[in-house]
Amino acid sequence: MPPPTATLSVPSSSSPSLFPLSSFSSSNNPHVSSFCPAPPTLPKFPSLSKPKTPLRNLTPLSAVSIEKETLISERPHTFLREADGGDDGSVRSRFQRMILEAQESVCAALEAVDGAGKFKEDAWTRPGGGGGISRVLQDGAVFEKAGVNISVVYGVMPPEAYRAAKAAADDQKPGPVPFFAAGISSVLHPKNPFAPTLHFNYRYFETDAPKDTPGAPRQWWFGGGTDLTPAYIFEEDVKHFHSIQKKACDKFDPSFYPRFKKWCDDYFYIKHRGERRGLGGIFFDDLNDYDQEMLLSFATECANSVVPAYIPIIEKRKDTPFNESQKAWQQLRRGRYVEFNLVYDRGTTFGLKTGGRIESILVSLPLSARWEYDHKPEEGSEEWKLLDACINPKEWI
């Protein structure tokens, strides 16, 4: 069963909690049940004023299994190891080229619509091969914070990181697992509360045989998605966004959009709140049951659809007048964004458990967010309508 839906109502002070903790179970979709496990139990966080556990101890030393990055002044031609053949037409090589080109096109479009902000770029490598390019625009005219990162990483996953990267219960490899991972990841937080946040991520994984099972076959899979997180609903904007996702999916398989749209609604579920992070889009993971060339083309099409899906919405909403109350609501929804990313997101978990570059991993977090005690929007208000759509996912097209 998918995460529960509910009728949104504003209870009195004597009513039970609006968002009761409820058991999470995966969808009837076999891919969701296989690869999207129930989110972990929400941990009890210590006092922020007197932390009991130093932050540096949250990632065990034994889990740090990729080499420390080194900042470089100029980006290299490739982040691939020489043993991979460089730009040889392999899937690794072509996926690297795709994410580099997508980063360029998305950043150019964002700078153009912002008009003032410019991306700061950090390029980095690791001694054993791999590296990445982190680009961040902060305090622009339109965007509070926009990050567009690419990475090509080699390493050895400890078992807990392998479970975060590939959550199939019947496919747990023993011991540390050598891996290759490449991807582009982006989160865009506009200043205007009527302009939506966007997240997209497309990635390719390969794992080699662990040392204690030599000769085991190499495994590969694709993952990713694009999803929209507004603070206010403009139905024409949401329909436009979803129509672009459907168009990209339909070029390859008409079952992709409904399947990946539901997967997105289920994945971005904040269990402890009883609501979704936003208004969805598409999401898929551990995808390897189609031809590899077809899936590479599909991931490329999805990445190339980001600009036409998002920029027209930003151009329409970036200058809309707003008041302090509407800005405060945006900040409350940003708080939900932070909660999901730090508690449930598999990409964040994987990065932290493999000793990834912290600035790149946490670039998704906004500059500002807000938490209010027991906040409930007035029933029938525009804020209430957004929350209702997050609790009860809709079919937008």
Q: All domains of the chain, ordered by start, with CATH?
A: 70-391 (3.40.1500.10)
Tell me, rounded to whole angstroms, the distance of Cα 229 from its chain centroid: 12
- Rounded to an integer, the average pLDDT of 58-85 is 71
**What digits encode the pLDDT tens for the residues 327-382?**
999 999 999 999 998 888 877 877 777 677 788 778 888 889 999 999 999 999 99
Cβ neighbourhood burial of 91 (10 Å; 0-12, 13-18, 19+): middle
**What digits encode the pLDDT tens for the residues 2-54?**
554 444 433 333 333 332 323 333 333 433 333 333 444 444 434 434 344 33
State if pTM tops 0.85. no
Distance CA 298, CA 249 (A): 8
Single-letter amino acid, residue 45? F
Structure tokens given for 396: 């937008």
Q: Is-catalytic flag, 240?
A: no
Which of 31, 199, 240, 242 is catalytic? The answer is 199
**What digits encode the pLDDT tens for the residues 231-280?**
999 999 999 999 999 999 999 999 999 999 999 999 999 999 999 999 99
Number of H helices, E strands in the chain: 11, 10
Distance CA 393, CA 5 (A): 8
